[in-house]
Amino acid sequence: MIDPRLLRDDPDLIRAAQEKRGLSTAVVDDALEADSARRAAIADFEQLRAEQKQLGKQIAQAQGEEKADLLARTKRLAADVKVAEATQTEAEQHWRDAVYAIPNPAAEESPSGGEEDYVVLSEHGTPRDFEAEGFVPRDHVELGRILGAIDVERGAKVSGSRFYYLTGAGADLELALVNMAMDQARAAGFTTMIPPTLVKPRAMEGTGFLGQAADDVYRIEGQDTYLVGTSEVPLAAYHSDEILDAESLPRRYVAFSPCFRKEAGSHGKDTRGIIRVHWFDKVEMFTYTTLEDAADEHERLLGWEQEWLDKLELAYRVIDVAAGDLGLSARRKFDCEAWVPTQGRYRELTSTSNCTDFQTRRLDIRGRFPSEGSAQPEVKPIATLNGTLVAIPRTIVAILETHQQADGSVRVPKALQPYLQGREVLEPVVPVDG
RNA sequence: GGAGGUGUCGCCUAGCCCGGUUUAUGGCGCCCGCCUGCUAAGCGGGUUGAGGGUUGUGCCCUCUCGCGGGUUCAAAUCCCGCCACCUCCGCCA
């Protein structure tokens, strides 16, 4: 959630932020109204409650007639207290709903506008010119078939559309990528994690996935439990209700986990292959740090993503995602998009978001800081950030298509070879045409 | 899944049976000060978090004893439900 004090003190700032995302400012007025209603209700209840407690103390000491008299008075008061408390509870719920509807204001640097209004920050490597090389590139589905690496037909047979099997070299490729990613993160100081991927509503809501993104989330029938779409969820909720010592920051975690997405509203998009699927495995980086350090950490996460893509010898660009295309929690987001030869365009491979204190406020995660001038430490909000290291299917798509050769084989990037039993090339397992 | 037990302000712990000066006891740890040539010991004080009011920035108030209800003038304490952990049994990879 946004800082409620900021909303109260500078609502115009939040209104401007809503407009930058292309959203209505009505929610800001709703929230302001709910806030003053809430505060009035609190003052009301607290006054009555204080009175009740005072009388209660007197009753404990009073005797006889005096006691009976006090009891009669406070009995009426008790009813009022009950009503005031209910009013307060309701007002706080209203307020919470209103404030929760407001997304994290986008960073000043984030471009205004929607999905198409991103800004390209940099380009790396050169897309291969297959025409100059004299052959027509095969797409990843065809390459996956030739290499015995991807089986989408049987995936659909067993689980439905947007499911697949990784087989043989494909499965080997996933394990190699995961191990390589984990090694890189470990070397950078991340703590490796295998988190649970079924979570309670608190974790889902706390990370901002039950708002506008709720349609994309699998819920377990008959249970208040969800399948996560990213390990960001269990990694953020990991420290919920905790106060972290400032000296322990930044805390960096890297997790391997499956991810589940309904892909509601993407009917007909990317129906071929494994670009957009209901389940995939991912290695995700996650950082808890101070608000002051968050922007720098965001750059570092981007740096690790680029290091990763460089090692895979892919051509990619980095974009600054526009405000209207940010998730609920993000203040700023960078996507790394790799060139996919048969699509003739860049596709998102990794993504890193700075969520500042949006998630930590919802999940009650704070930092304990030594305060200047005072002996007592200070408890303050902290920031969370996340970044993909490797989302398996799309990375496999980019590797197969980018490093394919005319005979249907695929060259293995040098850095990946040690993780693939030293293989330099993935060879076809079926006869190849032309 | 069944039976029993436990859950207190960073950690440990008293209080619960028998509701009311409980402003939740004591210890450990941590912080500040005193003492001291230095360190330790000793002595004194402080130390959950959230929210509201006031702007006198220091003070006042409310909430917080696993969570949620209930009883009562009043709940850590009594009642109901839930959750987590421990022990035993059952089942299971």
pLDDT of residue A434: 58
- Cβ of A246 near strand B (distance < 7 A): no
pLDDT of residue A214: 81
**Contact indicator for A287, A293 with CB cutoff of 8 Å:** no
Amino acid at A76: R
- Distance in Å from B44's C1' to A376's CA comes to 19
Tokens standing for residue A405: 């050769």
pLDDT digits (tens, 9 = 90+) for A287-308: 999 999 999 999 999 999 999 9
Separation CA A295–CA A76 (nearest Å)? 56
Band the pLDDT of A374: cuts 50, 70, 90.
Answer: low
pLDDT of residue A371: 72
Closest nucleotide to A361, Cα to C1': B50
Look at A265-269, A319-323, A351-355 and tell me which has the smallest mean pLDDT.
A265-269
pLDDT of residue A370: 81
Give the 3-state secondary structure percentages of chain A, helix then strand then coil, rounded to 5. 45, 20, 35
pLDDT of residue A36: 93
**Of A285, A337, A355, residue with least CA distance to A119:** A337
DSSP state of A163: -
Tokens standing for residue A136: 């027509």
Sequence-separated (6 or more) residues with CB below 8 Å from residue A218: A226, A227, A260, A261, A262
- Cβ of A425 near strand B (distance < 7 A): no
pLDDT at A245 over 90: no
- Distance in Å from B91's C1' to A219's CA comes to 27
**Of A360, A430, A434, A422, residue with least CA distance to A146:** A430
Separation CA A107–CA A326 (nearest Å)? 10
Question: Chain A, 48-67: which CBs lie within 7 Å of strand B?
Answer: 49-50, 52-53, 55-56, 59-60
Separation CA A78–CA A85 (nearest Å)? 10
CA A289 vs CA A206, A245, A246, A285, A380: distances in Å: 17, 11, 8, 13, 12
We find that the CATH architecture of domain A4-100 is Orthogonal Bundle (1.10)
**Of A301, A353, A350, residue with least CA distance to A329:** A353
pLDDT of residue A373: 56
Question: Chain A, 351-370: which CBs lie within 7 Å of strand B?
Answer: 366, 368
Q: Which residue is nearest to nucleotide B51 (CA to C1')?
A: A42
DSSP string, A114-176: SGGG-EEEEEES----HHHHTSPPPPHHHHHHHHT-EEHHHHHHHH-TT--EE-THHHHHHHH
- Cβ of A196 near strand B (distance < 7 A): no
- Cβ of A238 near strand B (distance < 7 A): no
**Of A381, A322, A331, A383, residue with least CA distance to A353:** A331
- Distance in Å from B69's C1' to A6's CA comes to 35
- Distance in Å from B54's C1' to A47's CA comes to 15
Mean pLDDT across chain A: 93
pLDDT at A261 over 60: yes
Q: What sign for the dihedral angle of Cα A29, A33, A34, A38?
A: positive
pLDDT of residue A57: 82
Closest nucleotide to A38, Cα to C1': B52
Q: Which nucleotides of chain B does any protein CB come within 7 A of?
A: 20-21, 31-32, 45-47, 49-53, 61-63, 69, 73-74
pLDDT of residue A63: 72
pLDDT of residue A433: 74
- Distance in Å from B49's C1' to A155's CA comes to 50
Question: β-strand A243-245 against A366-369: which pairing, if any?
Answer: parallel
pLDDT at A178 over 80: yes
Rounded mean pLDDT of A222-227?
A: 86
Rounded mean pLDDT of A89-116?
A: 94
Band the pLDDT of A372: cuts 50, 70, 90.
Answer: low
pLDDT at A71 over 90: no
pLDDT at A174 over 60: yes
Percentage of residues in chain A having pLDDT higher than 70: 99
pLDDT of residue A62: 74
- Distance in Å from B15's C1' to A165's CA comes to 61
- Distance in Å from B12's C1' to A384's CA comes to 33
- Cβ of A86 near strand B (distance < 7 A): no
Place of tokens 């000296």: A247
Closest nucleotide to A81, Cα to C1': B73
CA A263 vs CA A99, A126, A278, A279, A289: distances in Å: 27, 31, 7, 10, 31
- Distance in Å from B70's C1' to A364's CA comes to 29
pLDDT of residue A111: 96
Closest nucleotide to A53, Cα to C1': B74
Percentage of residues in chain A having pLDDT higher than 90: 79
Amino acid at A20: K
Would you please indicate which residues of A are annotated as catalytic (active-site) residues? 261, 276, 348, 351, 394
Assigned CATH topology for domain A115-426: BirA Bifunctional Protein; domain 2 (3.30.930)
Where in chain A are the domains? 4-100, 115-426
Separation CA A386–CA A235 (nearest Å)? 9
- Cβ of A415 near strand B (distance < 7 A): no
Separation CA A56–CA A62 (nearest Å)? 10
Q: Would you tell me how many other CB atoms lie within 10 Å of the CB of residue A236?
A: 26
pLDDT of residue A299: 98
Question: Chain A, 287-346: which CBs lie within 7 Å of strand B?
Answer: none
- Cβ of A2 near strand B (distance < 7 A): no
Reduced to 3 states (helix: H, G, I; strand: E, B; else coil), residue A112 is coil
